[in-house]
Structure formats: C-alpha cells, structure tokens
Amino acid sequence: MIEAVESSRLRAYGYWAATLIIAAESALGGVWDVLRTDYVRDVLEVRLGYPWYVAVLLGVWKIPGAIVLILPRLPRLKEWVYAGVVFVYSGAFVSHLAVGETAAAFGPLGFALITAVSWALRPESRRDPAPYGRAFARLLPKAPARRTATTVVYWVTTVAFVGALFSGGIADLLHREETLAGMVALGYPPYFLYIIGAWKVLGTAAFLAPGFGRLKEWAYAGAFFNFTGAAVSHAFSGSASWHVVYTSLFALTVLVSWAARPPDRVLGDVRTGRA
C-alpha cells in the first residue's frame, strides 16, 4: 500500500516537473517569438533560414498551448498541444542538423524528450475524456443514431484534405521543382520540405487507419497547423489571395472532419464513457 502511494506520488512529481518545464519554455519562448527578440532573429532567421513571420506564428500558438497544459482536464485539447510541441521541437532538431549545427540540435531534442515524459506520466483526468463522459451517460443514455449525412460529410472532407496532405507530402519529399520553388518564394529553407513532407505522409497513414483515436488527434492537430501555417505564410509573403483562401478552406475541412468523425475514430466517447 505504502509503495503504491509512493509510486503514485513520484509519478505526479515527475509529471509536474516535466510539464512545468515544457509549459514555461513554451510560454517564455512564445513571448520571445512574438517580440522577435535578437536571439530569436539570430537563430530562426539568420542561422536556420526561416522567414520572419514564422517566429510570430509559433509564438501565437505556443502561449495558449502553455496555458492549456497547465489547466485541468481538457484531454483532447492537450493532445493537440502535445502534438504541436513535438512538431516544434522535432522540427528545430532537424533544422539545426540540416544547417550543420549538431551541438545546438541537442537542445530541442532534450525538450522533446521532456515532453514525452510529461505525456507518458499525465494523470487520467488529463489523458482520457472517459471519466468525465460517464457523468453525462445518465443524462444521455442512448447515443443518437449516426445520420447518413454526417457520414458523407466526414468522408468528403477527410478525403479532400487527406488527399492534399498525401500528394503534397510526396511532392515535398521528392523536392518537386514547382513545390520547391513555391516554398522558397514563401521564404522557407529547402530542407523544410523534408520535415513537413514526412509529417504529412505519416499523418495520412494515421487518418486512413481504422481506430487509433489518440493518434488521430495528433494527425488532426498536424493537419490544422499545416494548413493554417500555409495560409499565414501566403498572407505575409504577398502571395495571390486565392492561395490564402484555399489553404484556409482546407483548414476548415480539417475541423469539419474532426467534428463529424465516427465513434471508432474518436478519443473517448462522452456518451458511453468508452476510452
């Protein structure tokens, strides 16, 4: 009994230590990014070669993400935050390696590992919607029948943006001439295509596989970050307005697909308490 209590206590200490480190780094780093401090400009723009607006975009996402990590509950939203943090740290790790800064790459790699510790040790209330779903089961004893229209909307929107992700991911990884030219025109370094292309292809696999509700939350987060990031990039780089419109529409289809997804693709079932 005592050992179980001690183990639970150590787990809680480990979780909060890792989470506070990541939340603090995200919050402070987010503020620095939005302000584009000298350090941020030197690392992100000069050494890694990213356009100036990337720092602002990252900062806008990091600050609320840090708040979500600290707040109680919100398990689905926390999965999106964990996904975003991993995308940022893994992208920073590969970026430093791509420009030959091997030593600097270990910083974001270390934060990625701390993120993994936080994710693995998080308590049930911050991991699984099911405990709070059971309370609603008494009010909603029967889940309503899934309408055919909802299924159609889910598959139409999912096929639309997943097709764009997969084709775009392959073009990114192959450094298709038009794709490379477009990325450079936005101000991104060529190696960024490999980073985003790999995530797109992996996300496509997650969407197509049945089940895996938690993994799909990460895939939805990645898809939404990708399309909103693309829309912002086109807007700030002065691209034709239709580029901003169609990437924004793809971001919208991601949210519609997420809202219409069937129960076997959901992280937890608020009506049955199923994880």
Structure pTM? 0.87
Whether the Cβ atoms of residue 194 and residue 173 lie closer than 8 Å to each other:
yes
Structural domains counted in the chain: 2
Q: Are residues 184 and 220 in the same domain?
A: yes
* pLDDT score of 135: 47
- Residue 114: inside a domain, yes or no? yes
Domain limit, last residue, from 106, 127, 148: 127
pLDDT of residue 2: 59
* Residue 242 forms part of a structural domain: yes
**Is there a domain that residue 133 lies in?**
no
- Residue 8 lies inside a defined structural domain of this protein: yes
Task: Identify whether the C-beta of residue 119 lies closer than 8 Å to the C-beta of residue 81.
Answer: no
Helices vs strands, H then E, count in the chain: 11, 0
Domain coverage including residue 77: 2-127
Of the candidates 86, 80, 51, 65, the one whose C-alpha atom is nearest the C-alpha of residue 192 is 51
The answer to whether residues 158 and 240 belong to one domain is: yes
Whether 174 is covered by a domain: the verdict is yes
Give the pLDDT score at 143: 41
For residues 216 and 244, membership in a common domain is answered with yes
Fill in the amino acid letter for 136. Answer: F
What confidence tens digit (pLDDT) does each residue in 56-91 have?
A: 999 999 999 999 999 998 898 999 999 999 999 999
Q: Which of 76, 98, 127 is the last residue of a domain?
A: 127
Q: What is the pLDDT of residues 179-222, one digit of tens each?
A: 999 999 999 999 999 999 999 999 999 998 888 889 999 999 99
- Residue 5's pLDDT band (boundaries 50, 70, 90)? low
Is 132 part of a structural domain of the chain?
A: no
**Bigger pLDDT: 71 vs 268:** 71
